Each structure stands twice: as C-alpha cells, then as structure tokens.
Amino acid sequence: MIWPALRWTLFHLDPEQAHRLAHAALHRVTPGLARLRRPKVPPELHVSCLGLEFDGPIGLAAGFDKGDASIAGLFALGFSHVEIGTITPRPQPGNEPPRLFRLVEHRALINRMGFNNAGAEECARRLARVPPAARMGPVGVNVGKNKTTPNEDAAADYLACIERLHAHADYLVVNISSPNTPGLRQLQEREQLDALLRACVGRLRELAPGKPLLVKLAPDLSPTALDEAVDVAIEAGVSGIVATNTTLSRAGVERHPRATEAGGLSGAPLGPLATTVVRRCYARAAGRVPIVGAGGVMSAEDAYAKIRAGAALVQVYTGLVYGGPGFVRRLNDGLAKLLARDGFRSVAEAVGADHRPGERASV
C-alpha cells in the first residue's frame, strides 16, 4: 500500500512542513480530476441538515484548511462538506513555532497554532476564485477574533468576518472554544455568549436570511456550563452546535514527553470525551437544533458512536492525518455496514439511537 510508506516519509518531517506539503498537493487538484477521483458515497449515507444536502455525514473540521481554499482537492478525498478556518478579520501569524506536535503512539496531536491565517479579506478573495465545479458539497467558514482584540470588542471581529465571508459560505461557525487564543473560552459564559451570538445571528439574518450559523463549544465545560451554553445558543437563534473543539485535558497521554506542551489535544484520546459532550448536547437541545460531532474520530466505529450519541453530521481532522487519503472512503464504507448491521436505512434513523429505549447499545 502507498499510504504507509508515504506516512512514514511525512512523519519524518516537521508536522507543519508535512501539512504544507499536503496542502500544496491538494491545491493542485482540478475540479475535473477531483470528480474523477472522488469515491462514491453509499446512498443510505445521504443527510439533509441545516437546510443543506450532504452526500454523507463525514466532513472536514476547521483547522486543516486555514483559508488556502483547497476545495477541489479536499472534496476529492470524499468529504461531504469542508469547513474553512478559523478565519480572523485581520491577518495574523499565530503563535510562535514549534506549535504542532504528534503523539504517534496515541494517534493524537497537540496544537497551539493560534488562528494563523491570512485574514478575512484574503480568504474571501481565495474562495471567490474557487470554480463552482469544485464545490461538490457545502463549504462552511469558521470565524474567530484576532488575538489582540479584547473580549469586550470581540463581537466586532466576528461581525466583520461574517460580513466579508458570508457570500462565499454555505454556513458559518462562530468559534469561541479554541484553547489557543487567550481569553477566548470566556466568551462561552452566559452573558457574553448571549450578546455575541445574538449579534452574529441578527447580522447574518440581515445579510443572508436563512443561511445557517452554528457555534462551536469546548469539551472542557462542566456539565452545568455545557447545558447553559446550549440553552443560551439556541435561545439566541443559532442553527446548530458543533461539539467539540480540542481539549486541555491530557487524560490518556499523561506520560508522553509532549504531554506538557501547551495547546489543545486532538485525536483518539479526545474521542470518548467528545462523544460524551455530543450526547449531552443532543439531550439538552431536545431536537431544537442539530449537533455536529467532532473530536477523536479515527474509525467508522468512532463516527457511528457520535451519530448514535446524537450527531447529525461528523467532522474529522486528526483522523485524516493518521489515516491518509483513503480515510474518508473507509469511514463511509464502514458506516454503511454498521447502519445495515443495526437495521437502519439511513443516517437520520441512527441519529440519537442511544437515547431511545430498547435500542442496541453503540459499538
């Protein structure tokens, strides 16, 4: 197989260098080649959600494409949707390197990238140049505030991104949960969260009525704080909740030499915690908005666990780093088999199955 040898080569490079090489390759993929190479998705995986159509539940989480807009190449891998970002109003270099670390034996990453991106204006230009044929599914844009912007002025940053980028996005996500921008997670507190989300929802409704706006929450909130954040977000009018971002916890990797590095942990160790958060968000939302599950999806079984816990869509990032170009195809094929095993005719039938009495427990 080609991937094990390629992974061996890439993993001997600095993580950011390997990331840049991957993007360079993806950026060269034309829409025609992407459509030719894109794996077919089993029809039972089709999802209708957020007023949009997805040919499967598996999408790319924010963080991989920080505004390069390698859209055709990413869809060629089989993703049903691609989320760009996090994008800030003004360009920023992010935190000082080294800032991305592999924990290979744990199939995990620690990153403290710090929203490195070229800014909303440049991202909008790049997305505007993407040929329509390259968009083989919904494209989302994840937005945040600049590091130098104080929290009391954060709303202006989010609104600036929404105003500049909404025309190029099928949906937008308000990121208030990255651990790598000082003070950002404080925006998840009730009063600040309510004011911010009401401002963002209101502005997007003025600019593009009906376009979905979601909020991305951290996995490290207490159960009470998580319930409160879900309630506040829904009352403010969001269209959905993304659960979750990376974690500050080092559970499962405590003895690794890199465990003391600052930043958010992603990958396999995050999986159980992220699924627990998905489950609680789904129960609290009680059908009012859909949940997008992210965090620790390294296999079809992981994705299925999030769907059964309540995720209508599932996003991946670290799993792609470790799983390679065929990762999404394997997830989709495996999901189709798991649905059939449990007697579900569609993803929608399986969403939240673990909450229903008499259903078989998740794998």
Map residue 127 onto helix, strand or coil.
helix
Angle (CA) 69-312-217 rounded to 5° is 70
Q: Is 90 exposed, middle or buried (0-12, 13-18, 19+ CB in 10 A)?
A: middle
Rounded to an integer, what is the distance from CA 131 to the centroid of its chain?
23
Rounded to an integer, what is the distance from CA 104 to the centroid of its chain?
21
Whether 299 is catalytic is: no
Measure the CA–CA gap between 200 and 155, rounded to whole angstroms: 8
Query: Left (φ > 0), alpha (ψ -120 to 50) or beta: where does 352 sit?
Result: left
Which listed residue (80, 177, 178, 266) is catalytic? Answer: 178
Measure the CA–CA gap between 109 and 174, rounded to whole angstroms: 23
Locate the DSSP E strands across the chain. Answer: 47-49, 52-54, 58-60, 82-87, 100-103, 108-111, 139-143, 171-175, 213-217, 240-243, 264-267, 291-294, 311-316
247 contact partners, CB below 8 Å, separation of at least 6: 179, 218, 219, 220, 264, 265, 266, 270, 273, 274, 295
Measure the CA–CA gap between 265 and 112, rounded to whole angstroms: 9
Residues with a catalytic annotation lie at 178
